[in-house]
Chain A
Amino acid sequence: MNRRPPTGRRLINFLVSGLSVLASLLGITLLGWITLEVIYRGLAAINLDFFIKLPTPPGMAGGGLGNAIAGTLAMTGLATLIAVPLGLLGGVYLAEYGEDSRLADNSRFSANVLMGMPSIIIGVFIYAIVVVPLKHFSGYAGALALAIIMLPVISRTTEDMLRLVPNTLRETALALGAPRWKVTVLIVFRAARAGLITGGLLGVARVSGETAPLLFTALNSPYWFRSLGEPMANLTVTIFNYAMSPYSDWQQMAWGASLLITVGVLALNLTARFVLQEKK
């Protein structure tokens, strides 16, 4: 009774297994190919000047992308300041108050939809409500666009992380006579701290490589920024402009900026994972 499956079926099974190994290798090769290429080509552009100098016209040696680095940091920072409190509170509603109410259901559904919405559409939206009325591009517009992209990420991860906190903890605090909001802020937040940090890191990682929403909100600028109310240099739009230019030294700069962005985003992702694993 020890019959094996007939050869044809075994052969198909073998082929599919082989195919799945090949496909996984393709995925890993791709990750390796992209990161190695970015590191190899990017390192050539990185030096001290890259971080602290202003860009130079094509053909002139030296120069850097200091203003773009500062701009990206400033806009990402402002976006985080806007999106984290709003997203956190939204997540609190979903996990602690709304649960299965219609508002919570709608908000959850919309957050998932908004996460999959093309980021260029967010750019067009901010253009229409901020850039057109103010009649000029600005760092504020860019930061707002990034905040909108970040908001659903924070809100959904917050909800997931708060739901992991055992209910007995809430009940204990409530039984001591603590009001609900204090239980949330002082007990539940503290218990879910690692998860909340992870959510924030993932949110920042999600927006720090975004280009499309900045193209016509923050635009770009060859100078240091004096305020967020003017067009603002940033790394990603600079990569786009420089890569599309015919000048090889500008393309070189674009590779340097790509290296910086890739390292930043991958590091944020890995840190987020690490923080969550430490907790477990």
Chain B
Amino acid sequence: MREHRVLRFFQLWPQTGAESLGDIGFRWLSGCCALLVPLLILAIFMQLLYYSIPTIKTFGLGFLFSQTWNPVTQEFGAASSIFGTLISTLIAMLLAVPLSMVIALLLVELAPPRISRVIGTLIELLAAIPSIIYGMWGLFVFAPFMADYVQPALGNTLGFLPLFQGPPMGIGMLTAGIILAFMILPFITMITRDVFLLVPPVVKESAYGIGSTTWEVTYKVTIPYGLVGVLGAGFLGLGRALGETMAVTFVIGNTHRISASLFAPGNSIASCLANEFAEATEPLYVSSLIALGLVLFIVTYLVQVLSQMMLRRMYRAWSVGL
């Protein structure tokens, strides 16, 4: 019945000619909506740049290398925030990349399909948990756990390194890095899994056929074959880690200081914005915060573009749609 109604509906307005007026309008409308996304990115960049001008004029390039951050004397430098962003991201990547690889290995090669699907779903749900929940859990559950068990253990065994010295307070660079690792782990795992799945079975089977073990096939065949994709997945995680805000803000300690110890509190660009933006009143203060945002924007943009290019190259090469 429904089909008949639809048919009648069309016949009421028979179309002649190549493209009706409605068609032209609809195509333009949808085209404009598609154009909106690139325009938004451009607008974000322009706005950040515009508001950063006072900072760039006052401090010049020195803004990036100065450690002072003093709203009272109106002196601002981004060094401690940039340092904190880089260190916490580095910790996160060192932990998350190998873990994601082996989980993807389990999902694709080792586990039976049904178990693999269940584990896959659970890992995907881990990615869905909002950042602020990681923050709550990090501050009230994980930071005390770090202070009571992990940090004393690290201090006792590796305490001769300056990295692991100082009082075990729970919050600080190390805890922030570990929580970041937990947050990006599912993203990297999911894409690595897809990349592993795309490697043609024939290639893997020939390696198995000459007597390779699962690990050897993964290490010497699957990973080299899908290297661009695996790198793309890593960069995607990197971009997320650099800009992650709430979870880091809860546990990093929020002080503008550069310390050698990973137990010490610090801050990151995103956490600095989250903490100070709403309270900033002087124009130069706001401008400096937005300049920090501009730095973050440029870095994450480049990382994202790299990651997209790698993933796209891989999908293109293997002729499947993105």
Contact = CB atoms under 8 A, between A and B. Distances in A.
A264 B7 CA distance: 41
B206 interface: no
Contact of B216 (A9, A24, A113): A9
A262 B36 CA distance: 31
A236 B132 contact: yes
Contacts of A152: 37
A5 B14 CA distance: 72
Interface stretch (A48-56, A58-66, A191-199, A253-261): A253-261
Contacts of B218: 16
Contacts of A110: 37-38, 40-41
Interface in B114-146: 119, 121-126, 128-137, 139-141
A41 to B, nearest CB: 8
A261 B47 contact: no
A239 B140 CA distance: 13
B78 interface: no
B157 to A, nearest CB: 20
B208 to A, nearest CB: 11
B246 A26 contact: no
Contacts of B122: 27-28, 31
A200 to B, nearest CB: 15
A216 B35 CA distance: 27
B298 to A, nearest CB: 10
Interface of A: 3, 5, 9-10, 12-13, 16-17, 19-21, 23-24, 26-28, 30-31, 33-35, 37-38, 41, 86-87, 89-90, 92-94, 96-98, 103-104, 106-114, 116-125, 127-129, 148, 151-152, 155, 163, 173, 176-182, 184, 186-187, 205, 208-212, 215-216, 219, 236, 239-240, 243-244, 251, 254-255, 258, 261-262, 265-266, 269-270, 273
Sorted nearest first, the 6 A-B pairs with minimum C-beta distance are: A209-B130, A118-B243, A181-B26, A93-B30, A13-B213, A20-B102
